[in-house]
Amino acid sequence: MVASSDLGGLGSREGPRVTYNWVLPSIAPMLLPWLAILGLLALKPNRCAGAWWIWLPLGCVMAFTLAPPDILPSGADFFLDVIAALAAGLAAVWLLANYLRRHHRFVTFLCLLSALAGFSLLGFVSRLDWSFTDFNFTDETLPAVIVLAVGVLASSAALILGGLICRGRYRPLRLYGWLLLLLAGSWLVVTAPIFVLQSIGSNGGIDWGEFFVPVLVVAVCHFATLLPFLILSSASPFYRERLKALLHAKPEAPPVMAPVPEASLKT
């Protein structure tokens, strides 16, 4: 490979020849989350046609990360990787719901948090640049990991608290509303102290508009990541039972049968 440029009388036209061996990047890391989902589909409780609908919400979120609307602030491109990683984690949780449910809500929360964190981290690592042997983390990696950790914690807490607030009854629209409020509240609680400390450290006034707008945008994007999986649970009886398991929803009471009149029995 030779660099060439016409410098006129200031020097030679071509620089020294440089040898560069280009190696095709491996696609194996990028396939890890997809292979993990396929492995979960092979579990005995998921060996049915209804379980394969999990690809629909996962594909919708991945499509969103490929063509995002212009609502993300500049310099926050890493947030798309966080959304994709969180979607992979949610898909795994939906497939593992029967295993994650425990008798006590707090133990269910811990199991949910562990599964969501593990599979989300796998999805995030698969989107990093592994094209070079001497892999180095970029400046955006640490903020992305922090945002992903907050998103995982907020998602787990919102699902458990949403089931508790709904008193163990599965009512989709009411649950959607509470989850949006709980996610927004989680992001506000986590980021408010950081924003206040930064404002005090810079000896400037606190502009709450600069705080609320970005945080609410992040919360809406977070809810938009969760929403396709919630809609799947509303439309699919298979995943509806999975979500009920995570929410500790009470089983629906059987319909009350009216007593048959005695006269009709004699006839």
Cα gap 219→217, rounded to integer Å: 5
CB 35 within 8 A of CB 122: no
Domain count within the chain = 1
Q: What mean pLDDT is predicted for residues 83-95?
A: 94
For the record, the structure tokens of 66 come out as 């490929």
What is the DSSP secondary structure assignment for residue 128, as one 8-state letter? S
Q: What confidence category does residue 180 fall into, taking pLDDT thresholds of 50, 70 and 90?
A: very high
pTM score, whole prediction: 0.78
Among residues 91, 82, 149, which one has the least CA distance to residue 117? 149
In-domain check, residue 263: no
- State yes or no: pLDDT of 114 exceeds 60: yes
In the numeric block, which tokens belong to residue 64? 């969103």
Give the H or E element holding residue 8.
Answer: none
pLDDT tier at 4 (50, 70, 90 boundaries)? Answer: low
pLDDT over threshold 50, residue 132: no
pLDDT of residue 23: 54
Residue 113 lies in a domain: yes
pLDDT band per the 50, 70, 90 thresholds, residue 204: low
- 184/195 Cα distance (integer angstroms): 16
132 vs 6: CA distance, rounded Å = 33
**Residue 3 belongs to some domain of the structure:** no
| Structural domain for 104, as ranges | 30-39+51-66+75-250
